[in-house]
Amino acid sequence: MPKAKLAVSLFILSEANFFLLLIIAYVFYHSYPGAGPTAATALNPLRTGLFSILLFASSATMIMAAAGYRARAHRATLWWLLATVMLGALFLCGQALEYAGLYQRGIAVNRNLFATTFFTLTGFHGLHVFIGLVAIAIVAGLAATRRLVGSEREADAFEAVGIYWHFVDAVWVVIFSIVYLWAIL
């Protein structure tokens, strides 16, 4: 396995374990709601679902960028990378709007166990989305300056960024299901 893919795979393995622990904490504390807001009373799964569709679509645009890269279609690669960045950034805007709305209603990270585990879990994921967007923006910058020449090392690095991005999307599927969909069941 090439070094870049091995490194990102090991990193993802460690991050998957960390996310697993955060999800376990969320599920555990979900069964002890206590006083104050809960997922069912504080969250809007429909609105977050709409922003989630943007994040899920960004996996498709990343796949298209990778296909363009393999075909050495520089312009297509750049546009698909920029579309991925735009979709991911819109998802983060949705998360920021959600956080702002929660804070306006007095729901902060220190409010109760729900708020603490919710903000920790979703905030950690948001940080990963941001890191992925930075990595994709760097690759897009290289594509814009035509510095992506298609070497084997470059292809491995491009694929590693894609693997990371798909991991971030896959983690959100789990988080969205447990935090938002479980709230309406």
Residue 74: CATH number of its domain: 1.20.120.80
Q: Is residue 38 part of a domain?
A: no
Q: Is residue 167 part of a domain?
A: yes
Q: Is residue 36 part of a domain?
A: no
Q: Is residue 156 part of a domain?
A: yes
pLDDT tier at 149, thresholds 50, 70, 90: low
Which of 104, 94, 113, 109 has the alpha carbon at shortest distance from 44? Answer: 94
Q: Is residue 165 part of a domain?
A: yes
Q: Is residue 44 part of a domain?
A: no
- Count structural domains, the chain: 1
Average pLDDT, integer, range 162-179: 97
Residues 28 and 12: their CA atoms lie apart, in Å, by 24
CB 169 within 8 A of CB 55: yes
Residues 24 and 18: their CA atoms lie apart, in Å, by 10
Helix spans in the chain (H) = 3-30, 39-42, 45-70, 74-104, 113-144, 152-175, 182-184
What pLDDT score does 145 carry? Answer: 84
Q: Is residue 95 part of a domain?
A: yes
31-60 residue pLDDT tens: 877 788 999 999 999 999 999 999 999 999
Domain hosting residue 91, numbered range: 3-29+49-184
CB atoms within 10 A of CB 165: 27
